[in-house]
Structure 1
Amino acid sequence: MTQPATRRTVLATGAGALALGCVGCGAENGGTATSASSAPASPSSPGAQEAATDGKALARTSDIPEGGGKVFKKEKVVVTQPKKGDFKAFSAVCTHQGCLVDKVTDGTIDCPCHGSRFHIADGAVAHGPATRPLPQRSITVDGNSIRLS
């Protein structure tokens, strides 16, 4: 005969299930898994942006489709072009649970982990579970080159 569940066994079992449910979060498509207790590296930390591009251009303007965008996984940034000649950049780290977004389609930046989508024009949440927009990143467009700044 089994013993009735105690509060301790229920909590331990629930915590284990929660941990298992998040195994691999962000690890899809070359991302890195993050835990709820670790925050992603801050893009505003000294030297983080310079090191990300090693002083080279992130992309050419022709690499970013009008009405779409491109995710740069290594730099953890997504660059969009909501309308011709208007380039925007956002963190590629989803504000829901830290997964990396993986694509830009139909006017949104999409996270593969839990289905959050963000508008390409301002990073605002288009569809949850995320409740906060993607943080903006600073870029410079110089001729045909796009650089993190």
Structure 2
Amino acid sequence: MEKKETAIADTLVDAINGVLAPMERKHLHLSVNCPENLTVSHDSRWTSEALFNLLDNAVKYTPEGGDIHVVVQDWEMYLEIAVTDTGRGIPESVQATIFKRFYREEAVHDVDGIGIGLYLAREIITMQGGYITVESEVGKGSTFSIFLPQR
């Protein structure tokens, strides 16, 4: 990992560019709230990969015409990047399991994937001293938040 103090907006744009085509095919709406001049020490290439994995899941599990919101907040100790979707949601009983390698919930076997995206995202963020959280409600959607340390 090569951590450098760089604009998080640039890293976010790289990740979003990777999901634009499938978003357009599903007519998903994207909103992004990210201060342009906000910087944080991070490996932009790998952080972009972690963000892409979260966005890719949001696209996969959000029904046609749904919404995806990305909000970046500057907290005292951490920078938070929250990806919220209006997808199918994740049952609370499996939320602790979804970050395991190759884990796929029974209900999502109709969606392409091998169950490595969330595992990789967590590993990438953890290697930079950060962490990922999930909040979800079945039938309403999910929010995955990446927290990167400020110092």
- TM-score interval (norm. to shorter): under 0.3
> What TM-score, normalized by structure 1, do the two folds share?
0.26
- When you count helix as a share of all residues, which structure comes out higher? 2
> What TM-score, normalized by structure 2, do the two folds share?
0.25
Higher relative contact order (CA 8 A, sep 6+): 2
